[in-house]
Chains A and B, each alone.
Chain A
Amino acid sequence: MKRPVQALLLTLTGTGLLHTALFTDIYLRYVKAGLRPVLIASGAVLLLLGLAAAALGDGQRHTAHDDHEHGHDHAATPRVAWLLFLPAISLLCYAPPALGAYTAARSNTKPVAVQKGFAALPATSPLPLTLTDFTKRVQQDRSRAIRNRIVQLTGFVTPAEDDDGFYLTRIIFTCCAADSQTVKIRVHGTEAPPANTWLAVTGTWHPQGALGTRTAPAALDVKDTRPIAQPVNAYTDDLPLTPS
């Protein structure tokens, strides 16, 4: 790889990282939010390195003789480095979307942690809940506080195996999209919208099994669905940051 190409590659990679992490929120599709400062720093370092390589070149005026005597020839970069152009260009011009229904349909539901005590539910109606909290209330809360409550859940649509309803889904990851896990709530009593549509769904628990035990399915009888914009924190199971 020639020196100008190396300089271009470093500059492109640096710009790509800065573009995703500093100027836009695109990085949230791929990695956790906490990585942002590190990504910005890396982008800046790579950009400076690329500019330095373009401006200074080799930085020394050594002869051909010198070049052969020197033990480690930094001018020679293997051609595998060309592969780095793919993520750089992809980040800059053609960033793929966050993981969605395709991945969710192929993964198990993440097991919900066991919670000991449950606080009383707030009196608001409809009551906004995360998918995880709803699952916990249905399967673990012995006081059955969720019975007859109208709740509001948000997530994206993953088609179900049969025709009755769909799965309201969130994909969560710890570090990056490679370790993604899925939380799903079955929604009954409505036509399935197209996959990956973001929805706010209001409804009540779908009565089946014994509420407060593992036999109760995390499922909802729908009252109303409303399309929403994809939240900024799409890869979490949080209540949406945007006022709904």
Chain B
Amino acid sequence: MKKSDELVDVVDGVAVVPVGSPPLRRIRPWPLGAALAIAAGAAVLLLAGTQWLNEPAVQAWRTVCLAITVQALPFLLLGTALSGAINAFVPADLFTKVLPKRPALAVPVAGVAGAVLPGCECASVPVANSLIRRGVTPAAAFAFLLSAPAVNPVVLTATAVAFPGNPAMVAARLLASLAAAAVMGWLWLWLGKEEWLRPALRHRHTGHEHGRSRWNEFRLGFQHDFLHAGGFLVLGAMAAATFNVAVPRSVLDAFSGSPWISVLFLAGLAVLLAVCSEADAFVAASLSGFSPTARLAFIVVGPMVDLKLIALQAGTFGRAFAWRFSTATTVVAVTASALIGGALL
């Protein structure tokens, strides 16, 4: 039954999507294939030597890639544990009782509720996933997903430290992030289609089942979600490290002249660099050649859309969802930061 959705997120784009649901447990040939590929890779490595791994550029890439992974792993674990706990221990109707009945009202409430999840963006993807599985309307869960990494106290404090004597930047970040998250929630209510989400998310019947040990269920769910999201995290970290090493910082100032181009440029840079939301304010502060509005766009877009988040979302919610959602979020977040930055900064 569930075999269909794990085959969808094959990395290399040659996914074989099975039609229908095969009634029998299929024999999966890929562990053997992967073992052969790894053995072949090791053989090539031994034959060609490991010298290329020590080229300065490759070393810098490996360092940045490992740094993103290592720094995100604890937050991913936290998010996975929270999501597993929500699945196994929280009664199914709790969220539907707490949130307003009307989805249009639930969206801003969920956006503001994002302030309670301290940490980076990697934690919020699994939590939003488990909220949807628990019956929260997807629009509200997405508002939470987008606002949580940007409006929590840890990140706002870091922003205040990075921009000393400039409280308007903190206020602008808070407002622009909340506004973009709420608009994205409403946009989903208006235009979103459930069939973009992975099949597993559409029928919401997971969570605790009678007759099974809650702890065991928690452990297995935790293990599954962590391995799943962790793989996509590594994929995203590889992509982000590639841009981090390939794009030298010294070319950046070439784009700081025109106000409109610089807003778009820094928004795009936030997507490519995938800096953690606790640190992005410091990077933004160092981009001193750019206008305050452009720097605001950098710290508003960064926690909502970046390469590792796109990879995580593609793994969690499905690829059809991830590219539509990320594109729309980028547009909305840039607009929100341009409007609020223009008014406040």
Min CB gap B79→A, angstroms: 12
Residue numbers in B under 8 Å from A78 (CB-CB): 6-7, 9-10, 228, 231, 315
- Answer whether A45 and B77 are a contact pair too, CB < 8 Å, given A84-B230, A97-B59, A174-B282: yes
A-B CB contact pairs (8 Å), 6 listed: A30-B66, A59-B216, A80-B11, A102-B59, A107-B248, A178-B68
Complex: chain A residue closest to B58, CB-CB: A96
B258 at the A/B interface (Cβ < 8 Å)? no
Residue numbers in B under 8 Å from A35 (CB-CB): 71, 74
Q: Assign chain B's interface to a size class.
A: 35 or more
Chain B interface residues (CB < 8 Å from chain A): 1-3, 6-7, 9-11, 25, 30-31, 34, 53, 56-57, 59-60, 62-71, 73-74, 77, 81, 158, 200, 203, 205-206, 209, 212-213, 216, 219-224, 226-228, 230-232, 234-235, 240-241, 244-245, 248-250, 252-253, 273-276, 278-280, 282-283, 286, 288, 315
Complex: chain B residue closest to A40, CB-CB: B74
A to B contact number (C-beta, < 8 Å): 208
B31 and A2 contact, CB distance less than 8 A: yes
- Shortest beta-carbon contacts, A-B, top 7: A175-B279, A80-B231, A177-B67, A106-B248, A102-B56, A30-B67, A176-B71
Question: How far, in angstroms, from A13 to B66 measured CA to CA in the complex?
Answer: 12
Complex: chain B residue closest to A38, CB-CB: B74
A64 and B282 contact, CB distance less than 8 A: no
Interface residues of A in 126-172 (CB under 8 A from B): none
Residue numbers in A under 8 Å from B273 (CB-CB): 178-179
**Total count of chain A residues near the partner, CB < 8 A:** 71
B34 and A74 contact, CB distance less than 8 A: no
With A81-B228, A173-B279, A179-B275 given, can you name 10 additional A-B contacts, CB distance below 8 Å?
A6-B227, A72-B206, A74-B223, A78-B231, A80-B10, A84-B227, A98-B63, A175-B275, A177-B63, A179-B280
Q: Which stretch (A46-54, A202-210, A220-228) binds chain B?
A: A46-54
A17 and B250 contact, CB distance less than 8 A: no
Say which residue of A5, A13, A74 sits within 8 Å of B221 (CB atoms).
A74
Say which residue of B67, B222, B240, B252 sits within 8 Å of A49 (CB atoms).
B222
Residue numbers in B under 8 Å from A80 (CB-CB): 9-11, 228, 231-232, 235, 315
1/0 per residue A14-36: CB within 8 Å of B? 00010010000001011100010
Question: How far, in angstroms, from A65 to B257 measured CA to CA in the complex?
Answer: 66
B279 and A102 contact, CB distance less than 8 A: no
A83 and B206 contact, CB distance less than 8 A: no
Residue numbers in A under 8 Å from B68 (CB-CB): 176, 178
Residue numbers in B under 8 Å from A90 (CB-CB): 62, 66
A83 and B235 contact, CB distance less than 8 A: yes
Say which residue of A59, A86, A94, A103 sits within 8 Å of B220 (CB atoms).
A59
Residue numbers in B under 8 Å from A73 (CB-CB): 1-3
- Answer whether A9 and B227 are a contact pair too, CB < 8 Å, given A74-B221, A175-B279: yes
Question: How far, in angstroms, from A97 to B282 measured CA to CA in the complex?
Answer: 23
Question: How far, in angstroms, from A41 to B230 measured CA to CA in the complex?
Answer: 17
Please classify the interface of chain A as helix (H, G, I), strand (E, B), loop, or mixed, using the class held by over half of its residues: helix
Residue numbers in A under 8 Å from B282 (CB-CB): 174-175, 179, 181
A201 at the A/B interface (Cβ < 8 Å)? no
Min CB gap A116→B, angstroms: 12
Complex: chain A residue closest to B7, CB-CB: A78
A27 and B70 contact, CB distance less than 8 A: yes
Say which residue of B6, B203, B213, B231 sits within 8 Å of A83 (CB atoms).
B231
A71 at the A/B interface (Cβ < 8 Å)? yes
Question: How far, in angstroms, from A179 to B223 measured CA to CA in the complex?
Answer: 30
A192 at the A/B interface (Cβ < 8 Å)? no
Complex: chain A residue closest to B314, CB-CB: A80
A39 at the A/B interface (Cβ < 8 Å)? yes
B286 and A110 contact, CB distance less than 8 A: yes
Min CB gap B235→A, angstroms: 6
Residue numbers in B under 8 Å from A20 (CB-CB): 70
Residue numbers in A under 8 Å from B244 (CB-CB): 178
A99 and B63 contact, CB distance less than 8 A: yes
Min CB gap A33→B, angstroms: 12
B74 and A30 contact, CB distance less than 8 A: no
A77 at the A/B interface (Cβ < 8 Å)? yes
Say which residue of A1, A2, A174 sits within 8 Å of B279 (CB atoms).
A174
- Answer whether A72 and B216 are a contact pair too, CB < 8 Å, given A1-B31, A35-B74, A178-B275: no
Question: How far, in angstroms, from A45 to B81 measured CA to CA in the complex?
Answer: 10
Residue numbers in B under 8 Å from A118 (CB-CB): none
Say which residue of A2, A64, A91 sits within 8 Å of B70 (CB atoms).
A91
A108 at the A/B interface (Cβ < 8 Å)? yes
Min CB gap B212→A, angstroms: 7
A10 and B227 contact, CB distance less than 8 A: yes
Question: How far, in angstroms, from A176 to B64 measured CA to CA in the complex?
Answer: 8
Question: How far, in angstroms, from A20 to B77 measured CA to CA in the complex?
Answer: 17
